[in-house]
């Protein structure tokens, strides 16, 4: 567990959107999906997911409805709205630009004078 990375502030929302973009999921499912697609490399406290989820619902990026899980438990399922899909695209682009820039900056070799 110690090799898991702490989340950067603001990135949880992006991960939730990404996880949900692959299909409707309940909260616990989202956590599992994030673990799965990130290779379990990120440390997320389970409860921290929910304020983020509700925030996204309030912003109209996700919509929620009650359903039943595979093992017959009542659970709330989330899926992307059109606005959510657009936002995911934007945020992904932003993130890639930022990551590239930082990678480039960090990997730059000092040039000979």
Partner 1 sequence: MNFLAYLRSVSSKFLHHSRTAGEMEDELCSHVQLRADDLESTGMSRAEAERRARIEFGGFERYREESHHALGGSFIETLLNDVRISYRKLRKSPGFTLVASLTLALAIGANAVVFAVLNGLILRPINVPRPASLYGLERGSYKAVNHSYPDYLDFRNRNRTFEDLAAYNLTSVGLDTGSGDPVGSWIMETTPNYFDALGIQPYLGRLFHASDDHGPNSVPYIVLTHAFWHSHFHDDPGVVGRVVQLNKHPFTILGVAPPDFRGTILFVFPDFWVPLTNQEQVEGVYDLNERGKRNLLMVFGHLKPGVTPAQAVADLNSVGAYLEANYPKDDSQMYFTLTRPGLAGDWFGGPLRQFLSGLMLLAGLILLAACANLGNLFAARAADRSREISLRLALGSSRLRVVRTLFTEALMISALGAVVGLWGSIVILRGLSTWQPLPTAPLTIPISPDAKVYFFALLLALASGLVFGAVPAMQTFRTNPYELVKSSSGYRTGRRMTVREVLLVVQIAICAVLVTSSFVAVRGLVRSLHANLGFEPRNAMLVETALSMAGYSGDAVPAMQKRMIDTLQAIPGVQSVGLVDRLPLYYGANYTNIFSDKTSDLRPSNVAARPTMYLISPEYFQAAGTSLLSGRAFTWHDDTSAPRVAVINRQLARKIFGSVSAALGGYFKLENVTRVQVVGIVEDGKYETLAEEPRAAMFLPILQSPSTQTALVIRSERDQQEIAAAIKRTVTGLDSGLPITLRSWNQELESALFASRMATLSLGVLGILGAMLAVTGIFGMAAYSVSKRLREFGIRVALGAKRAELLHTAMGRALKLLAFGSAAGLFLGILATKVLAYIVYQATPNDPMVLGGAVLAMSLLGLLATWIPARRALNVDPNLLLREA
| Sequence-separated (6 or more) residues with CB below 8 Å from residue 84 | 17, 20, 21, 56, 60, 61, 62
Site string for partner 1, 36-65 (x = CB under 8 A): ---------xxxx-xxxxxx-xxxxx----
Give the residue, chosen from 2, 65, 71, 104, that forms a contact with partner 1 under the rule CB under 8 A: 71
Looking at the Cβ atoms of 48 and 99, the one nearer to partner 1 is 48
CB distance 2 to 45 below 8 Å: no
CB atoms near residue 13 (< 10 Å): 19
Minimum CB separation of residue 67 from partner 1 in Å reads 11
Minimum CB separation of residue 39 from partner 1 in Å reads 18
SS3 category, 78 = strand
Residues binding partner 1 (CB under 8 A): 26-29, 45-48, 50-55, 57-61, 69, 71, 73-76, 83
């Amino acid at each position: 567990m110690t090799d898991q990375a702490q989340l950067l502030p603001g990135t949880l929302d992006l991960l939730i959107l990404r996880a949900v973009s692959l299909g409707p999921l309940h909260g616990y499912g989202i956590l599992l999906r994030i673990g799965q697609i990130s290779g379990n490399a990120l440390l997320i406290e389970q409860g921290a997911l929910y304020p983020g989820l509700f925030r996204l619902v309030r912003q109209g990026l996700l919509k929620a409805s009650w359903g039943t899980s595979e093992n017959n438990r009542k659970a709330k399922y989330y899926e992307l709205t059109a606005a959510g899909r657009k936002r995911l695209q934007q945020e992904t682009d932003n993130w890639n630009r930022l990551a590239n820039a930082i990678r480039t900056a960090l990997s730059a070799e000092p040039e000979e004078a």
